[in-house]
Copies of this chain bind each other. A is one copy, B any other.
Amino acid sequence: MSRIEQDMRDITEVVNRRLDALLDETCEPGILMDAMSYSLKAGGKRLRPVLCMLSAAMFGEMHKALDVACAIEMIHTYSLIHDDLPSMDNDVLRRGKPTNHVVFGEAFALLAGDGLLNCAFEVLLNYAQKNRENKLDVISAMHIIVSASGTRGMIAGQSADLEFEGKDVDAQVLHYIHERKTAAMIKASVIAGAALFYANEADMKALCLYGDNLGLVFQIVDDILDETGDEKKLGKSTGKDKDAEKMTFSRVYGIRASQRIAKEKTDEAICALERFGKRANGLRTLADFMLERDK
């Protein structure tokens, strides 16, 4: 196991434990909590929390970003639950398990998604309440996350994705959709971790550039894996985008060119980290890891 894989595993364990505790704090036992917990615990790469924690570690104590990282994962999980619903992508497999609505029914899946989004804000607000004396800039971190997950960010991307399904669109629309649908929250994970510790403008700018490129790479690789990946390894159905005539990088550019673009963007992401020297080793290796991933 590589160093970054070990780091990711360590962070993931801490995040998983904290997610459990946070769910206990914000929910009452019952079907709703079971449904929320089911998707939250279904695994996944925990990429966004890892990004947030690695970025935070460059500016302060990593563990102080834990609740922010968990809130981001809650938002990501809610978006997956709602995305999988029959009225949306109608997916039955996610992270190698039956999707939320398959197990709990549509109504509880809907509420579990709503619940996780609301919970994320509760977690962030509780943390903001505890940090009233400006030791940490929780408000700025929240602002970054909520903008990225919102109606100019992730939700706008999902909406555009629906709107253009089956339509012949160009590269510009493709970028519009993916910048919002996936890249926005990936970028937010990186910069929220830094904003929490009052990172300066130049550092934030560099991390924005890293996040923009990384977000794009993530989506391109996702598109490629949807066509060429192993369903078992990925833990989700493949070929769905093609079936639904969704806009993907591999559809617009072809697999080869998509791989080339992904490599270029990874280089650009890593280049943006230059000013941080060795402190950014984690983020640097993570970018390479994301390019090479097969799940």
Say yes or no: A139-B150 contact (C-beta < 8 A), given A32-B155, A114-B117, A162-B107.
no
In the complex, chain B residues whose CB is within 8 Å of the CB of A139: 125, 128-129, 132, 139
Find A163's partner among B30, B156, B159 (CB 8 Å cutoff).
B30
Find A143's partner among B113, B129, B158 (CB 8 Å cutoff).
B129
Whose C-beta in chain B lies nearest to the C-beta of A105?
A: B87
Shortest distance from the beta carbon of A91 to any chain B beta carbon, whole Å: 13
CA distance A117 to B149 in the complex (A): 11
In the complex, chain B residues whose CB is within 8 Å of the CB of A85: 110
In the complex, chain B residues whose CB is within 8 Å of the CB of A50: none
Q: Mark A120-160, 1 if CB is under 8 A from B, else 0.
A: 01100110110010000001101100110111100110111
In the complex, chain B residues whose CB is within 8 Å of the CB of A108: 159, 162
CA distance A267 to B79 in the complex (A): 44
- Chain A contact residues: helix, strand, loop or mixed: helix
Find A151's partner among B119, B126, B129, B150 (CB 8 Å cutoff).
B119
In the complex, chain B residues whose CB is within 8 Å of the CB of A155: 32, 111, 114-115, 118
Is the Cβ of B125 less than 8 Å from the Cβ of A142? yes
Is the Cβ of A110 less than 8 Å from the Cβ of B129? no
Is the Cβ of B119 less than 8 Å from the Cβ of A121? no
Is the Cβ of B128 less than 8 Å from the Cβ of A110? no
Is the Cβ of B150 less than 8 Å from the Cβ of A122? yes
Is the Cβ of A115 less than 8 Å from the Cβ of B150? yes
CA distance A128 to B160 in the complex (A): 30
CA distance A155 to B33 in the complex (A): 11
Q: Mark A183-212, 1 if CB is under 8 A from B, else 0.
A: 000000000000000000000000000000
Shortest distance from the beta carbon of A117 to any chain B beta carbon, whole Å: 6
Is the Cβ of A159 less than 8 Å from the Cβ of B31? yes
A106 close to B (CB within 8 Å): yes
Is the Cβ of B82 less than 8 Å from the Cβ of A158? no
Find A156's partner among B32, B82, B106, B128 (CB 8 Å cutoff).
B32
Is the Cβ of A151 less than 8 Å from the Cβ of B28? yes
A8 close to B (CB within 8 Å): no
Is the Cβ of A27 less than 8 Å from the Cβ of B163? no
CA distance A273 to B31 in the complex (A): 38
List the interface of chain A (C-beta within 8 A of B): 26-28, 30-33, 36, 82, 85, 87-88, 105-108, 110-111, 113-115, 117-119, 121-122, 125-126, 128-129, 132, 139-140, 142-143, 146-147, 149-152, 155-156, 158-160, 162-163
Given contacts A82-B114, A115-B155, 11 further A-B contacts (CB under 8 A): A87-B107, A108-B162, A110-B110, A115-B151, A117-B118, A118-B151, A119-B151, A122-B147, A122-B151, A128-B139, A132-B139
User: Which 6 A-B pairs rank lowest in CB-CB distance, beginning with the nearest?
Assistant: A87-B106, A32-B159, A118-B150, A115-B151, A27-B151, A87-B107
